[in-house]
């Protein structure tokens, strides 16, 4: 099981800014280990975010995204108290989903 | 006439150079952009869980670990380390103190952890622990104690190690960190013989390094300084690393700690 994400969601006016930190190796598949063997690719390839269960963002990621990625986006119409869920799936099929409350 | 316009253009050049951003400004901007999403937070969260988790042969947590402010007190401990500990009869930095707690409370093998490569096994847990413990003192000012004779001795020892020149390049720590305005590539280097300012030098480590995606504690930072000087690697939590930390920490008295910081 992957480590939890850190999600912060801050409402301002009729919008909320969401900041997400994901714990992931994001191995590109281009690197070699000390023995010269290729380290297999291992990266997040699907990200989605939902506001109170309704999907507001989906993204397809690839091996060029950094280790421990940071994602920031704005949701229109989100108010304090709303729930933001963020989930990802990686190329090994591992999944992680976390939730935060808009403040 | 062409000749004259060249002269005029040349005369303008120094003025242009002044109006441009310096490399240091650009690096500061880059750091500010990254600071909002500092992945050190991920390590902090892991470290807090590790502190409270029952682990090791004795199945105990670290919650009774004394970091110098009493058993289990974490807030404010980081800005007062390294310090003298009566139970071990040694001056210890955060990482060597954690080794003591992991062996006495949890029954883990401190020697084996000290020999583990950085970022692997229990060393990875150590990184998370120092991230969280340092974050608990974020915003506080460095105030290392110097009352005990052993702490004063370590300061003097650290000073000697700092100025000790050797290795194939005849380097010392002071070669790079002994005066103001030095740099390596485009990175400004702090002058560690005095207080280099808030959140600079000793007050900025542990830190998350973006280029490698790793969290480095002070022990790893010093280990890499020794590598850059082409010195033999110092032992993990060895006396010389703690002495250097005392020297830098005491010099940084009053500097605000921003650890865990974010680095290029």
Is B176 known to be catalytic? no
Catalytic site residue from B18, B65, B173, B225 = B225
Give the residue extent of every domain in chain B. 37-263
| pLDDT tens sequence across A2-35 | 888 999 999 998 999 999 999 999 999 999 998 9
- pLDDT at position B11 is 46
SS3 of residue B101 by DSSP: helix
Could you tell me the residue range of the domain that residue A27 belongs to? 6-101
Please give the sequence-ordered ranges of beta strands (E in DSSP) within A4-67, or none if there are none: 6-12, 15-21, 44-51, 54-60
Among the partner-chain residues A4, A21, A72, the one whose CB lies closest to the CB of B39 is: A21
- pLDDT at position B19 is 53
- The answer, for A39 touching chain B at a CB cutoff of 8 Å, is no
Q: What is the CATH number of the domain that holds A19?
A: 2.60.40.10
- pLDDT at position B246 is 96
Residues of B with CB under 8 A from a CB of A: 36-37, 39, 41-42, 45-46, 210, 213
State mean pLDDT over B78-88. Answer: 95
Whole-angstrom distance, CA of residue B124 vs CA of residue B121: 6
Residues A3, B46: C-beta atoms closer than 8 Å: yes
State mean pLDDT over B210-223. Answer: 92
- The answer, for A67 touching chain B at a CB cutoff of 8 Å, is yes
Question: What is the count of residue pairs from A and B with beta carbons less than 8 Å apart?
Answer: 29
State mean pLDDT over B55-84. Answer: 94
The dihedral over CA atoms of B240, B242, B245, B247, expressed in degrees to the nearest 10, equals: -60
Whole-angstrom distance, CA of residue A45 vs CA of residue A62: 6
Architecture of the domain defined by B37-263 = Orthogonal Bundle (1.10)
Percent of chain A surpassing pLDDT 90: 85
- pLDDT at position B35 is 77
| Bond into B264 cis (ω within 30) | no
Predicted confidence (pLDDT) at residue B66 exceeds the cutoff of 90: yes
Predicted confidence (pLDDT) at residue B16 exceeds the cutoff of 50: no
Predicted confidence (pLDDT) at residue B260 exceeds the cutoff of 50: yes
């Amino acid at each position: 099981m992957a480590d939890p994400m850190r999600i912060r969601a801050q409402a301002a006016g009729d919008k909320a800014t969401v900041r997400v930190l994901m714990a992931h190796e994001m191995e590109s598949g281009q690197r070699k280990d000390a023995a010269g063997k290729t380290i297999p690719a291992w990266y997040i390839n699907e990200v989605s975010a939902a506001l109170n269960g309704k999907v507001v963002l989906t993204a397809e990621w690839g091996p060029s995204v950094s280790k421990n990625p940071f994602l920031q986006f704005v949701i229109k119409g989100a108010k304090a108290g709303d729930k933001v869920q963020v989930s990802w799936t990686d190329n090994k099929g591992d999944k992680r989903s976390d939730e935060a409350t808009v403040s | 006439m062409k000749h004259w316009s060249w002269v005029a253009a040349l005369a303008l050049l120094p003025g242009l150079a002044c109006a441009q951003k310096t490399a240091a400004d650009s690096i500061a901007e880059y750091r500010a952009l990254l600071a909002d999403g500092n992945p050190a937070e991920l390590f902090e969260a892991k470290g807090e869980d590790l502190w409270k988790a029952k682990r090791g042969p004795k199945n105990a947590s670290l919650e009774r670990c004394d970091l110098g402010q009493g058993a289990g007190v974490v807030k404010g401990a980081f800005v007062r380390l390294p310090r003298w500990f009566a139970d071990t009869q040694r001056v210890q930095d955060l990482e060597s103190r954690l080794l003591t707690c992991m062996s006495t409370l949890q029954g883990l093998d401190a020697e084996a952890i000290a020999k583990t490569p950085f970022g692997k096994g229990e060393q990875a847990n150590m990184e998370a622990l120092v991230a969280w413990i340092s974050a608990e003192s974020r915003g506080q000012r460095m105030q290392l104690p110097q009352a005990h004779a052993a702490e004063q001795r370590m300061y003097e020892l650290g000073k000697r190690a700092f100025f000790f020149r050797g290795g194939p390049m005849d380097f010392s720590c002071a070669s790079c960190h002994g005066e103001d305005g030095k740099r390596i590539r485009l990175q400004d280097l702090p002058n560690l013989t005095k207080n280099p300012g808030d959140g600079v030098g000793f007050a900025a480590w542990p830190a998350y390094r973006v280029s490698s995606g790793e969290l480095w504690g002070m022990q790893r930072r010093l280990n890499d300084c020794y590598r850059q000087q082409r010195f033999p690697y110092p032992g993990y939590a060895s006396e010389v690393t703690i002495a250097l930390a005392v020297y830098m920490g005491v010099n940084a008295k009053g500097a605000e700690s921003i650890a865990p910081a974010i680095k290029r």
